[in-house]
Amino acid sequence: MNQLQHELNKILDANQFMNIAQFMETVVPYYYANNIAFGKDGDFITAPQISQLFGEILALWVINHCITHQIAQFNLIELGPGMGTLMHDVLRTIKQFPDIYSSLGTVHLVEGSERLQKIQKSTLHNLHQNIKWHNNLESVAELCKASDKPTDSLQSGAANIIIANEFFDCLPVRQFIRTKHDISEIMIQKSQNFGQDNGLNLEFTIRPADFQPKIELEINEIYEQNINYNYYCGLIKDIMNQSNNGGLSRALIIDYGYVERCIKSTLQALYRHKYHDPLKNIGDADLTALVNFTELESIFESFGLNTHLRLQGDFLYEYGIVARCSDLYDRTGVDLTDQLERLTDKKQMGALFKVLEIY
């Protein structure tokens, strides 16, 4: 058994069952600490790796905001930067606008994996003087609390601009199912059958739960509840509400997810670019759940913040992806039309992926 299997085994020996959220919380950090994850040799590919256009358009969103509101000072904060590709393209683009770039204070990167922090350092080391790494978002929020007095890293009065691409899909969910008799929670237990994973063979089961789902369920329908949304949204709110920035902070959450009523499991494992049984090759496959954007919107609105949700394709069109793509072609002969389509086409990433702007 590897270290992860030992850990899961220990929890199951002590409690017999674990819920899906406990499983995700244990597996996801291990996965990012130990796997290539991204790109051809990994398990999945994200928008910044598909195309430089993605980061360039996000940068234009930042630049547009800075110009419209004549922002004198801003910090950039990214959750889950992966290989650092998105921040690389954002910084490279902002640097084309020296007036805006001169207003950029600190870049804060929130990354739980030490291995990925190292990769991000090598991707970004020449792009900006002032980049700080954090193991969690709380550490950025702590800096904000202290920044009633100006500090070198989060100036009082500076707007904080937060971006998170494919971060929220890593956060753990619990799953509740309506049975003939009650509401039960979907749990994981050790299977009696001999396992392929060196003796740790897991299976799903259900246990009666004292829980009232937010939506009405028919028999066999599943309600997913993310257990970390409140925590992360609360920290984002704290960082955005840092004193004296005049409400000029913004956040952008981009992910695959839904807005309509969802009554099925969205737990998904990807292994070498193919869907995989979440209970097989545990720790070697990427594990995610779709993002419930309606829930995120209502949490932010309950904090008194505003939200604007768009399809990824619509957002990228609005901030000029078509013009950027043809300009690049005219000036360099490089044709990124296929990448543009992959990011914006409704049958590809354009509609499944959504962009939630918080202000």
Residue numbers of the site for ligand SAH (CB under 6 A)? 28, 32, 46, 48-49, 80-82, 85-86, 110-113, 116, 136, 165-167, 170
How far apart are the C-alpha atoms of 109 and 137, rounded to whole Å? 9
Compare residues 169 and 209 and give the one whose CB is closer to ligand SAH.
169
Residue whose Cβ sits closest to ligand SAH = 80
Q: What is the CA radius of gyration of the chain?
A: 21
Residue with tokens 């309509």: 260
Q: Which long-range contacts (CB under 8 A, 24 or more apart) does 324-329 make?
A: 324/53, 324/56, 324/57, 324/60, 325/53
CB nearer ligand SAH, residue 8 or residue 177: 8
Beta carbons of 136 and 228 less than 8 angstroms apart? no
Amino acid type, 100: I
Angle at CA of residue 276, ends 215 and 136, nearest 5°: 65
* Beta carbon of residue 222, minimum distance to ligand SAH (angstroms, whole number): 23
Q: Where are the beta strands (DSSP E) in 247-340?
A: 250-258, 268-271, 274-276, 286-288, 291-292, 307-311
Minimum distance from CB of 15 to ligand SAH (Å)? 22
Nearer to ligand SAH, 141 or 248 (CB): 141
Answer for the pair 90, 61: CB distance below 8 angstroms, yes or no: no
| Minimum CB distance to ligand SAH, residue 131 (Å) | 15
Q: How far is the CB of 266 from ligand SAH (least distance, A)?
A: 16
Least Cα distance to 107 among 173, 40, 158 occurs for 158
Of 206 and 352, nearer to ligand SAH (C-beta) is 352
Residue 201, C-beta contacts closer than 8 angstroms, at least 6 positions apart = 190, 191, 193, 194, 195
How many angstroms separate the CA atoms of 4 and 192, rounded? Answer: 20
Minimum Å gap between C-beta 166 and ligand SAH is 4
Q: Least distance from C-beta 324 to ligand SAH, angstroms? A: 19
Beta carbon nearer to ligand SAH, 96 or 135 = 135
Record the tokens describing residue 273, joined without a space.
């670019």
Closer CB to ligand SAH, residue 30 or residue 177?
Answer: 30
From CA 216, how far away is CA 223, in angstroms rounded? 9
Q: Residue 184: phi, psi to the nearest 5?
A: -120, 160
**Cβ closer to ligand SAH: 9 or 136?**
136
Nearer to ligand SAH (CB atom), residue 32 or residue 176: 32
| Nearer residue to ligand SAH within complex by CB, 115 or 280 | 115
| Strand segments (E) across the chain | 18-19, 74-79, 104-110, 131-134, 159-165, 173-178, 183-190, 202-208, 222-226, 250-258, 268-271, 274-276, 286-288, 291-292, 307-311, 353-358
Write down the least CB distance from residue 251 to ligand SAH, Å: 14
User: Nearest distance from residue 344's CB to ligand SAH, in Å?
Assistant: 16
Quote the least distance from Cβ 353 to ligand SAH, whole Å: 11
